């Protein structure tokens, strides 16, 4: 259709206090709300459009789509 839109891959989320965020440094670990093996969410303009799994292709990370989420307009 010739329209470009940004897609965001969400590995997980975490709730943190601003004071905690300000203390983060190189090597810090932030625990997310997902487990290893759970699908990654693909979002367009904040809306869930697909789910998938992280894979390595050459020297880049990619998401292989495993499910397309159906939604109505």
Domain coordinates of the chain in residue numbers? Answer: 7-68
Statement: residue 73 has pLDDT above 80: no
What count of other Cβ atoms lies within 10 Å of the Cβ of residue 40?
19
Give the integer Cα–Cα distance in Å for 17 and 31. 13
Q: What is the pLDDT of residue 36?
A: 87
Count CA atoms closer than 13 A to 34's CA, side-chain side: 11
Whole-model pTM: value is 0.74
CATH of segment(s) 7-68: 2.30.330.10
Q: What is the pLDDT of residue 72?
A: 66
Query: Mean pLDDT, to the nearest integer, of 41-60?
Result: 93
Give the integer Cα–Cα distance in Å for 59 and 43. 23
């Amino acid at each position: 259709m010739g329209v470009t839109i940004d897609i965001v891959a969400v590995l997980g989320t975490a709730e943190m206090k601003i004071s905690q965020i300000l203390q983060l440094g190189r090597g810090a670990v932030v625990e997310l709300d997902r487990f290893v093996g759970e699908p990654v969410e693909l979002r367009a303009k904040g809306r869930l459009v697909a789910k998938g799994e992280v894979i390595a292709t050459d020297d880049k990370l990619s998401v292989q789509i495993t499910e397309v989420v159906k939604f109505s307009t």
